[in-house]
């Protein structure tokens, strides 16, 4: 795995390179590390030199994913990634393509730090 970056550097990479705009989530792992909640999300990236990516979200304050068998498992067509109030926020199924959190966003994680690796 190749280290891609963390925090603000990674935010810039993910927003500007749009790796996640046509990705598929193939696993989500939630774990407690030293009493700190972490969420690890693994992606298959389509149409990019990066084929797979792992993002580890650390010091997670909130997360929520919804699945139902009538839809595909986490195809990402659009995502929202921003920094607000000292935290980072990502939605893999945003209600609108804007730069604000919305209670209507789906598949969200609110966290303090994150880092990514690719193959």
Taking the chain (119 residues) in consecutive chunks of 10 residues, what is each chunk's mean pLDDT? 96 90 93 96 90 97 87 82 95 85 93 96
For 1-119, list the strands marked E by DSSP.
2-6, 23-33, 36-45, 52-64, 75-76, 80-84, 87-93, 106-118
Q: Which two tokens stand for residue 84?
A: 């607000």
Other CB atoms within a 10 A radius of the CB of residue 21 amount to 15
Residue 90: what pLDDT? 97
> Which pLDDT value is given to residue 74?
80
Q: How many CB atoms lie within 10 A of CB 44?
A: 12
pLDDT score, position 72: 67
Up-side HSE of residue 27: CA atoms within 13 Å toward CB? 9
105: domain range?
2-118
Structural domains of the chain, count: 1
Task: Write down the pLDDT at residue 77.
Answer: 86
Quote the pLDDT of residue 17. Answer: 87
């Amino acid at each position: 795995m190749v280290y891609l970056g963390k925090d603000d550097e990674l935010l810039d990479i993910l927003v500007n390179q749009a790796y996640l705009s046509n990705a598929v989530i193939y696993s989500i792992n939630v774990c407690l590390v030293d009493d700190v909640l972490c969420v690890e999300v693994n992606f298959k990236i389509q149409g990019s030199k990066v084929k797979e990516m792992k993002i580890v979200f650390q010091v997670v304050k909130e997360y929520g994913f919804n699945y139902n068998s009538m839809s595909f498992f986490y195809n990402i067509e659009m995502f929202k990634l921003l920094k607000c109030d000292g935290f980072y926020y990502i939605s893999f199924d945003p209600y609108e393509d804007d730069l604000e959190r919305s209670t209507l966003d789906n598949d969200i994680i609110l966290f303090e730090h994150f880092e990514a690796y690719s193959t």
